Amino acid sequence: MLSRYRLTLLVLLVALSVLPASAQNTEQLQVGPPPLHRAEPPALGASAEQLESSGDQLRVEKNFLDAVDYYEAALKKSPNNAALLNKMGICQLMLQRYKEARKSFERCIKSDRKHADAYNNLGVIYYQARNYNKAIKQYEKAIALKDDAGSYYSNRGAAYFGKREFDKASLDYSKAMEIDPDIFERTSRAGVMAQLPSPEDRARYDYVLAKLYAKMGVAERSLHYLKKAMEEGYKDIKDVYKDNEFTELRKDPRFSELMAAKTPAIQE
């Protein structure tokens, strides 16, 4: 169960991998070996464009350590290239090298003040450190530059959720889903999932998503998150009978079946 509740970071171009729980039904985590170089070193005679292309391919293959080497080599031939700096920061973030990633995103912004993704990704750095106010400021800068990116709103919503400002979080999540209805169904490249330190907060988060999907008319997903909220022991589950967002869902036989089943809360 541990892997289910670890922090998961998902930005428009950023996602962190959750450490897997070790086998044999234990609650222990096994730390893997440090990342190793698997690709050949960057060729000295390669152009900046060639090096960037190779770095991009290595990043697709999740070979982030070597991708950083190629982006660094490309930057030597194309200094202060904002796109390269942002890509390098993403790989550093994937490697959990947060200080290095922050510097890369800050350099990217210094090079290009209108690079919306870099502001968003810098927000992720502050978010993972639980500095929600600074994260929100960065997300707001990204949104001001590009207001049609669902992940920016999702990320800001996660930060508001971390601050327990649930109404603001719901508004941002609603906007994110309006732009990208599948944003919470993907496991990568789609924003930051909320940091959920307690079962109560996890349950509330699932209930909020159930409400948003019900409002959109996506019954199956709404029922899925309602069930999860019940499993987490959401204490205000009876609100489902009065919240307007669930008006149509309450007419669905599957809703009645779910509520009649009284899904038991899962104990940790």
- In terms of domains, do 142 and 228 share one? no
Give the residue from 172, 194, 216 where a domain finishes: 194
Q: Domain limits at 236?
A: 196-268
- In terms of domains, do 156 and 237 share one? no
Residue 38, in any domain of the structure: no
pLDDT at residue 211 is higher than 70: yes
Query: What dihedral angle (degrees, nearest 10) is formed by the CA atoms of 171, 106, 99, 60?
Result: 80
Greatest pairwise CA separation for the chain in angstroms:
69
Residue 36, in any domain of the structure: no
- In terms of domains, do 190 and 203 share one? no
pTM over 0.95: no
- In terms of domains, do 70 and 157 share one? yes
Residue 1, in any domain of the structure: no
Tell me the C-alpha distance between 47 and 49, whole Å: 5
Tell me the C-alpha distance between 196 and 206, whole Å: 11
- In terms of domains, do 138 and 220 share one? no
Residue 238, in any domain of the structure: yes
Three-state DSSP at 173 gives helix
The answer to whether residues 170 and 208 touch, using CB atoms and an 8 Å cutoff, is yes
- In terms of domains, do 234 and 266 share one? yes
How many structural domains comprise the chain? Answer: 2
Amino acid identity at 248:
E
Q: What is the pLDDT of residues 158-179, one digit of tens each?
A: 999 999 899 999 999 999 999 9
- In terms of domains, do 267 and 159 share one? no
Three-state DSSP at 151 gives helix
pLDDT at 218: 93
Angstrom distances, CA of residue 121 to CA of 124, 149, 170, 259, 265: 5, 13, 21, 40, 36
Looking at the chain, list the stretches that DSSP marks H as alpha helix, in order from N- to C-terminal side.
2-5, 48-60, 64-77, 82-94, 98-111, 116-128, 132-145, 150-162, 166-179, 199-216, 219-231, 253-261
Residues 128-140 have a mean pLDDT of 96
- In terms of domains, do 129 and 239 share one? no
- In terms of domains, do 84 and 141 share one? yes
Q: What is the pLDDT of residues 12-35, one digit of tens each?
A: 334 333 333 333 444 554 555 666
